[in-house]
Amino acid sequence: MPKHSDGSGGGLDGVFHALSDPTRRQVVERLAQGPATTSDLARPFDMALPSFAQHLHVLERAGLVTSEKTGRVRTYRLVPQPLDHLDTWLAAQRTRWTRRLDQLDALLYDLKEQQQ
């Protein structure tokens, strides 16, 4: 069982954690354009391969990417569902926030009416 997927956040802990690093976000950005091999993914980064592999491992553990090995070449693909979960969470906060602003608007309107 993935370390961050403890059920309390439906895996959100691991997804947010995975995306808190600029290298890992860049990998997600690259994979959103299509599958890529480990060496394709590593090329833009000035980083030792074991460190880079660790980043890929964090992304895979969070469920954001999946990989398949053919011969000696491992190819990574984006799994978009965890990004949808983030989106759902963000949308819920926006709904709460907007509702609050609407309530404040109504309150200000009532205060103004009372003063007239």
Nearer to a copy of itself, 46 or 116 (CB): 46
Q: Which of 100, 105, 109, 110 binds a copy of itself (CB under 8 A)?
A: 100
**Closest of 49, 77, 42, 74 to residue 63, by C-alpha:** 77
Token pair in block for residue 84:
């949808």
Which range of residues in 6-14, 43-51, 68-76, 105-113 is near a copy of itself by CB under 8 A?
Answer: 6-14
Which range of residues in 25-33, 42-50, 66-74, 108-116 is near a copy of itself by CB under 8 A?
Answer: 25-33
Give, for 107, the enclosing helix (H) or strand (E). helix 81-115
